[in-house]
Structure 1
Amino acid sequence: MYQRDRDRVLHSGAFRKLQYKTQVFVYHEGDYYRTRLTHTIEVAQIARSLSRNLNFNEDLAEAIALSHDLGHTPFGHAGEEILNNLMKPYGGFNHNEQALRILTKIERRYPLLMD
């Protein structure tokens, strides 16, 4: 039922651009570097496994997991906090709401037809 939504996320330009966005975790033993795309694929697999074991809709869980980082600002949660403060007079900013906006209003309806 939600497989089309999952596929729409997978084929969106916003999802593909996650490969160019990095996450850096600083540990006492050294930095740990990865892309948001790698992180998102791992989250999607965990969501799918959990939903299967809990008898939830796997496609819905995967679609949500695949889109969870699409609305992130530069500099992650710190950037979101600053943007949220700047946007308070206009209702604030939330990366989850931005992800929904990207998929429903910004992305082209049929992304496979993109130039």
Structure 2
Amino acid sequence: MTSTSATSRDLPHPAPEEIRLEGVLHALSDPLRLQIVRELAARGDELSCSDFDVPVTKSTTTHHFRVLRESGVIRQVYRGTAKMNGLRKDDLDDLFPGLLDSLLAAAGRQAVRLGDSA
């Protein structure tokens, strides 16, 4: 994995050419990770980890964010003491045109069908 900087607070992210379709699909196959991505897409901006209301422990939440980051779905950066999360929509759209929009639309339809507000 490629890191853009060498400080201890920088988190490793895959370069766009390292992002693999199967990694993205695996990351998005988990309902909680898909919920996180849906929230990021809906807000269209960076959100701190504490902005997400997830029904799991902090360590499990950390794991889910790490899977999303290491697959190339999100970018995480520290801003002061907050770890900010942003969707790598441009990278994903360049690599897999239409994939993210289709998955988000399908997830939205499923949420309506199941009566899930997430």
With normalisation by structure 1, the TM-score equals: 0.28
Greater helix proportion: 1
- The normalised TM-score by structure 2 is 0.28
